[in-house]
Amino acid sequence: MHNIALIAALEGTRHQVTTDWFAIMAMLKTRSMSDDAINIVYNDLCAGLRVTTRGLTLAKAMSNDLDKKIIK
């Protein structure tokens, strides 16, 4: 797995933060997520999908920042 830039939002809020995959992966492991499930989340994010898991909504940050409100 490579580190990728992400946009994350807590479920039920409008606040967004930028983070990276390694930080999110570490947090998901502390929340007892299996390695297989973590790989699925990573693959979905790399494919450009928005993922909701463990109280977070995640999306890959676009390098050109065309859409600053990727998570609504």
8-state DSSP, 32: T
Q: What is the mean pLDDT of each run of 10 residues along the chain (72 residues)?
A: 92 88 95 95 95 91 61 54
Scanning the chain, the segments in alpha helix (DSSP H) are 21-30, 35-46
pTM of the model: 0.81
Assess contact for 37 and 54: CB atoms under 8 A: no
CA–CA dist 3, 72 (Å, integer): 24
Domain parsing of the chain, residue ranges: 3-52
Phi/psi-derived region of residue 12, left when phi > 0, alpha when psi is between -120 and 50, beta in every other case: left
